[in-house]
Structure 1
Amino acid sequence: MTREELLQDLAYARSLAEEGRHAPLLGGAYFVFWGLLNAAAFTAHWAVRAGRLPHLDGWAFPTIWISYAIVAGVGMALLGARTRSKPGLTSIGVRAESAMWMGAALALLAISVGSIARMVTENDLTAPNAIFGAAFALYGAALFGTAKLSQQAWLGAYAWLSFAIAGALCLFANQAWAYLGAAAGSLIVLFAPGVLLLRREPSNIV
């Protein structure tokens, strides 16, 4: 192989890598799902706290969040099956997106378990209020990392919005209306970019 042929091969390999880096992301459906689910759960939680929905003898909050967990589990299973049929799963951007959000999900799970355990063991009813501020900080980190690694710069704007929402929710965590803020934030930083990502997704057949 001549030097010129070697350089051509290297240039071709580089072009393939660049194409993979700029391949469409596949997380749009997840963003839409979690944006809507979070918004519904946070709004219902606020409605119970504000007296707009009945307390059901103390079962209102458990009902909301047990239902949330069930819908989340079913939804994730269906979304996983959907994503596996999409082309581009091995692209750099898609793998980065998957890793970032998996890390954020595990961190959020740890925070949620700890906060709920504190509520139960210490009878601290405000403990779960710390969850959504941390959640939006993690959303922002995942969005920021995905934007950088996939070179989808427009996602960075949603990352900064998520950081701002996280700060506000931490500041006003114990206010009942903060749950409405979290619901609106979910629509802004999850649902909205999710719709945009869905529009850019490749079809199942390429």
Structure 2
Amino acid sequence: MTHDPIDTPADIAWMRQLAEEGAQTPMRGGSFLMTGGLVFGVASLCHWAFATGLLPGGMDAVWIPWLASGVIFAAFIAIATPQLKRTETVLTTANKASAIAWSAMGWGIFAMFVSMVTLGWKLGMDTLPVISALIPSIILVFYATGWAVSAVMHRSRAMWILSIASFIAAPVLALFAGSTAQYLAYAAALIGLMGLPGYVFMRAAGK
């Protein structure tokens, strides 16, 4: 019985090309990360402001900024995606893998949110505070995974730092569960770990 060896010269050359390509190519789509981080970061700030009484409406109004941010971000995706594709010259493997990872992460967050709403409906309204308190931490874990995939594909130490920081931020946010400070801390995490890095990578890519 014969079999092809795994580490053939062609395989090694392809892996070397992939690594060099990832290291030399700036990550595309930074505008999506920047917009998502800023829009949802502002929504978290508004949530905190409603919960603390700085804005009128109290806890009955906290859903408003989240709904508004979701609509704004969806509109941005619908407008920016065709523009990004029109300006795309060569889609590298690194950028393609990063795009798939972040897209899957977005759908994963949506599926998680629907699952938690379903769980709250199934178990009763009394469980909603506990379920909602977990959402910021879970989303940070999704972000950490997205940064980790991008870090591998682009061979970026900065992205590894963002991934590790996001993993650390997840349990830190859980420490604030049950207090209004959780959404203030969540806003800082969204802006610091998504919005600002997205802006930096957007500038690096020239888009």
Q: TM-score, normalised by structure 2?
A: 0.83
Match of 2:39 in 1: 37
Q: What secondary structure is seen at the aligned counterpart in 2 of 1:90?
A: coil
Aligned residues: 194
Match of 1:4 in 2: none
Match of 2:73 in 1: 72
Aligned pair partner of 2:162 in 158, 165, 187: 158
Change (3 A) 1:166 1:91: same
Q: Distance in 2 between matches of 1:92 and 1:102?
A: 15
1:175 corresponds to 2:175: no
Q: Distance in 1 between matches of 2:14 and 2:137?
A: 43
Q: What secondary structure is seen at the aligned counterpart in 1 of 2:180?
A: coil
**What value does the CA root-mean-square deviation take over the aligned residues?**
2.6
Contact 2:19 2:154 in 1 (8 A): no
Match of 2:7 in 1: none
Q: What secondary structure is seen at the aligned counterpart in 1 of 2:38?
A: helix
Identity %: 20
Q: How does 1:74-153 map to 2 (within 5 A)?
A: 74-88=75-89, 90-121=91-122, 122-123=124-125, 124-126=127-129, 127-153=131-157
Q: Deviations over 1:27-57 (max 9, x none)?
A: 2101110110111110111111111112279
Contact 1:133 1:173 in 2 (8 A): no
Q: Gaps (5+ residues) in structure 2?
A: 1-9
Deviation, 1:14, is 7.8
Q: Distance in 1 between matches of 2:21 and 2:201?
A: 16
Deviation, 1:13, is 7.5
Q: Deviations over 1:36-81 (max 9, x none)?
A: 01111101111111111122793x1232222122112101112212
Match of 1:52 in 2: 54
